Structure 1
Amino acid sequence: MVIRKFAAIDIGSNAIRLLINNVIEQKGKPTIFKKSELVRVPVRLGEDAFIRGEISPKSESRLAKTMKSFDYLMQVYGIEKFMICATSALREAKNGDEVVQRVIKETGMPIEVIDGKKEAMIIASTDLKDIIKIDGHYLYVDVGGGSTEFTIFEKGMPKISRSFKIGTVRLLNNLVEDSVWEEVKTWVKSNIPLDGTVEIIGSGGNINKLHKMSGRKLGQPLSYIWLHGQYQFLNNMAYEDRVAVLGLNQDRADVIIPAIKIFLNAAKWSKAKKIHVPKIGLVDGMIKMLYYQKD
């Protein structure tokens, strides 16, 4: 048996995540990818990028400190290879490139700013064999702070992907126009069969948290009815109660409501009644890319 260690860092609009994975190789057996550690730091770069148009010095400093801390942590774990991807906040901020270059110079960490198409491609490369059936139709919805990536699966394979500028931080700050919603609606309806056979696969921190709140076991999907009821319940609860009574993190208690809205609309437009929550996302896809890419 050989155990190799890989890491992936996702610099998102709401939070920065570090995933450390053990990759277990055994002769004559399938490779096993096992999560070892997931660290999440709520830097929320999206509030700078989407509202002010640029990353503030304070946020840049927090980003650099987070990168340094993740570097130390990866050294302690003995990471063999790692990958860092930055998404919508840094690619849209006017000073995004300058911030990235300064942080790279200060920390030595190789940050790659990826576009929405590559983000959707990496997410679609995650292992979904336990959910996706060859004869089924699936709409993969990955909700982030700045954008949402949609991927349609047919015959067990990704057919088409699209990234839209609808994210929880944008919605929270009223930065999404009705025309963008209409664009998503048109895209979804024109690319899937509208006969009620489509099922949604959801990813992102908010849907993972909702699945945990539901009490369902891993592998049991959420229903559209439950999700709609949860939306009403949380929306009628004060932010302070979501934190104090439900125990949600401060940076989760506000974005969870717009996240549900995205999933509910995706389900309504696709006529999906089930939302599978495999608890995988961009960082998981990055780990797979690292492992399978040729040196």
Structure 2
Amino acid sequence: MSSLKVRKFAAIDIGSNAIRLLTHNVIEEKGKITRFRKSALIRVPVRLGEDSFTVGEISENNVERMVNTMKAFKLLMNVHGVEKYMACATSAMREANNGIEVIEKIEKESGVKIELIDGKREAAIIASTDLKQLIQKDQSYLYIDVGGGSTEFTIFSGEKIKTSKSFKLGTVRLINNLVGEGTWKKLEEWIKENVKDIPKLSIIGSGGNINKLHKMSGRKEGEPLSYVWLNAQFRFLESLSYDERISELGLNPDRADVIIPAARIFLSAAKWSGAKKIHVPKIGLSDGIIKTLYYMEK
């Protein structure tokens, strides 16, 4: 009998800009540390934030698309042999007047149960990822997870979380001009206040946009982006039209607009914190959900 056991877990992340299904192989072996390996990622461009932040509720069209997405995800999980999954919805669903209603309809029609999570829980789930492996004892980090509806900021000094806060500063909100100057000001004050005693701080970034920017930079995995490169790339992206970003750079239509405000969030945070480097470990809420699911049953 082999002492190796491969189990399948899945995470569904219902964000403001897209919905993702991530499946992981969880490899258990006697006497060895459990390993987590991504086996598949499917991303569907259902932009819930557009509805939620402008009209206040999820449109009928998007409810229908969500139901179909969840039915498809359910079938895919069956095919993959997933033994356990967790579906989390973030700010777009939280803020929609019909959020609870939509969740009930989805569960009834697809059998997928969705948990509405707040910014604090979101930050905690994300922090349970492989961040620990990246964080060095003698260093300090500002961890930034940029979403469509909100952005989570966490300050690590050594391996300890010093403080964290969620700001309603998301990319979908920004492209719809729903973020006032006051929010940027509050963020600036919060960052400056919390990093003032911290020398040598670098940024850890997550979210689809910074992952894409890292890929565009041509850097190797594990190699950080520099503030200088990101600033130049931001100006370059801004100089192109939306159509050119799709046709010339090959960006997805639902990435070509939000990538600019995302870069702006990272650049602002780097400027206010004095960070020169941005590490991009390519982890996020989905990875955190898998870890949470696995360790919940321990």
The two structures have a TM-score, normalised by structure 1, of 0.98
Structure 2 counterpart of 1:192:
195
Measured against aligned partners, the alpha-carbon deviations of 1:113-171 in whole angstroms (never above 9, x if no partner) come to 10111011111111123321111110110000000011111221322221110000000
Report if aligned partners of 1:208, 1:279 keep a CA contact under 8 Å in 2.
yes
More displaced 10-residue stretch of structure 1: 2-11 or 154-163: 154-163
Matched, 1:84 2:87: yes
Matched, 1:98 2:96: no
The SS at the match of 1:202 is strand
Matched, 1:162 2:126: no
Report if aligned partners of 2:140, 2:198 keep a CA contact under 8 Å in 1.
no
Q: 1:212 aligns with which of 211, 215, 222?
A: 215
Which amino acid in 2 is paired with 1:223? S
Q: 2:155 aligns with which of 143, 152, 156?
A: 152
> How does 1:280-295 map onto structure 2 within 5 Å?
280-294=283-297
User: How many Å separate the matches in 2 of 1:159 and 1:59?
Assistant: 39
Q: CA deviation at 1:294?
A: 2.5
Structure 2 counterpart of 1:3:
6
User: How many Å separate the matches in 1 of 2:30 and 2:109?
Assistant: 42
Structure 1 counterpart of 2:76:
73
Structure 2 counterpart of 1:240:
243
Matched, 1:134 2:147: no
User: How many Å separate the matches in 1 of 2:163 and 2:145?
Assistant: 14
User: How many Å separate the matches in 2 of 1:194 and 1:158?
Assistant: 15
Measured against aligned partners, the alpha-carbon deviations of 1:166-218 in whole angstroms (never above 9, x if no partner) come to 00000001000011111111111111236651110000000000000000011
User: How many Å separate the matches in 2 of 1:269 and 1:198?
Assistant: 11
User: How many Å separate the matches in 2 of 1:161 and 1:10?
Assistant: 21
The SS at the match of 2:24 is strand
User: How many Å separate the matches in 2 of 1:111 and 1:130?
Assistant: 30
Report if aligned partners of 2:103, 2:113 keep a CA contact under 8 Å in 1.
no
What stretches of structure 1 of length at least 5 have no aligned partner? none
Report if aligned partners of 1:16, 1:40 keep a CA contact under 8 Å in 2.
yes
The SS at the match of 1:28 is coil
User: How many Å separate the matches in 1 of 2:199 and 2:170?
Assistant: 26
Measured against aligned partners, the alpha-carbon deviations of 1:34-67 in whole angstroms (never above 9, x if no partner) come to 0000100000000000011111110100011001
Report if aligned partners of 1:195, 1:271 keep a CA contact under 8 Å in 2.
no
User: How many Å separate the matches in 2 of 1:290 and 1:165?
Assistant: 27
Matched, 1:118 2:121: yes
The SS at the match of 1:130 is helix
Report if aligned partners of 1:5, 1:79 keep a CA contact under 8 Å in 2.
yes
User: How many Å separate the matches in 2 of 1:233 and 1:294?
Assistant: 47
Structure 2 counterpart of 1:20:
23
User: How many Å separate the matches in 2 of 1:194 and 1:250?
Assistant: 42
Report if aligned partners of 2:14, 2:87 keep a CA contact under 8 Å in 1.
yes
Structure 1 counterpart of 2:174:
171
Aligned identity (percent) is 64
User: How many Å separate the matches in 2 of 1:201 and 1:153?
Assistant: 10
Report if aligned partners of 2:191, 2:272 keep a CA contact under 8 Å in 1.
yes
User: How many Å separate the matches in 1 of 2:229 and 2:153?
Assistant: 22
The SS at the match of 1:191 is helix
Q: Which 4+ residue blocks in structure 1 deviate beyond 2 angstroms?
A: 193-196
Matched, 1:41 2:44: yes
Structure 2 counterpart of 1:201:
204
User: How many Å separate the matches in 2 of 1:153 and 1:196?
Assistant: 12
Structure 2 counterpart of 1:54:
57
